[in-house]
Amino acid sequence: MKKMKWLGATGAVLALSAAGFVSTSSPANAATITFQATHGTINCQITGSATITPPLQDDWVAADHANDATTSVQTFKDSIASIPTHTFASNGPTNTTAKIAAVCSGTMTDDASHSASISAAKITATLAGTDPGEATCAGLATSATGGGEDGPSLFTTTIAWTSSTTGFKVAPTTVTAELGILSDTHGNGFALDANADNADDGTSVAGSLSGGDSASKAYVDSTSQNALLLALANAHATFADPTATLGIAASNPCEPTMKIMSAVAGDLVGDAISVKVSKPKSLKKILVGNSGAIQGCVDPCIPADSSLSVHHA
């Protein structure tokens, strides 16, 4: 699996943050103060999507299919096992662009007693890979579980805050957080955590609330959950499941699929059969955020809210 790292527009954010207090005014308007917050706790509900380029696809690997046909018909087994390894995945590096909207609550202040209530935020990020190898779904799972030669993936996100307090704006926050797989009674997805007490892991919070902590839970939206979970499971097509559905309606977008054909209608025991392999649909986008119960969650199902929290005491 490919290891991917997020690179945000940290230069612009930190330049704005370092400016401290910035006042702007015009003849028709009172001055608006933009300040870098030093204290506060902001909690947000988040929704959005991440687009992956190039799209992720897994290869047809002959060794994976040598013995996976469940039929007793030797002709089918031989046909499937004889299909040579075929490369479908594009070469990396893999880049992911994310745009996330957030509805927030909480207050930020600074040491000069400026204060602003936060009502919303826009989160933008680019996850830039460094591995020139194949862009596979297997790489996504490896990076999320801390695999890969470079260790866990670090994501850097830029958060632009919306103040509901007249006359005050809050400088952006840059969060560099470690990626992990999320699975609990609410559902499945990804977790991003940055903790000031564990600075050695490369995580950090800069700009507003610099030196604080950040945690987010990004549950996969119900409309794409099946596809994503199947992709991470890395299940491949078999005679019993030629489209790699694992009994679920959605097929695995990462895996090549099979079409089993017979020259004689209904004849699944004769020799006049063929097996055709088709390229994967590919995993192009991951939707984040969910307002309802997730299929497959532990009973009773609890609505899964994707969230972000940034705090500095």
Count of the separate structural domains present in the chain: 1
Pairing status of strand 4-7 against strand 273-278: unpaired
Rounded to 5°, the CA angle 52-65-226 comes to 40
pLDDT at 16: 27
pLDDT at 232: 65
Do the domain assignments include residue 168? yes
Do the domain assignments include residue 242? no
Between the ranges 37-51, 64-78, 131-145, 278-292, where is the mean pLDDT highest? Answer: 37-51
Do the domain assignments include residue 186? yes
Supply the pTM of this predicted model.
0.74
Q: What is the pLDDT of residues 97-112, one digit of tens each?
A: 889 999 999 999 999 8
Q: Of 229 and 53, which is predicted with more confidence?
A: 53
Tell me the residue range of the domain where 306 lies: 4-55+90-233+285-312
Give helix 225-233 / helix 137-144 axis angle, nearest 10°. Answer: 80
| Mean of the per-residue pLDDT values of the chain | 75
pLDDT at 94: 84
d(CA 115, CA 202) in angstroms, rounded, equals 30
Q: What is the pLDDT of residues 133-179, one digit of tens each?
A: 888 887 766 655 555 545 567 888 999 999 999 999 999 999 998 88
d(CA 293, CA 6) in angstroms, rounded, equals 29
d(CA 53, CA 31) in angstroms, rounded, equals 43
Cβ(47)–Cβ(101) below 8 Å:
yes
Do the domain assignments include residue 45? yes
Within 10 angstroms of residue 249's Cβ, the number of other Cβ atoms is 7
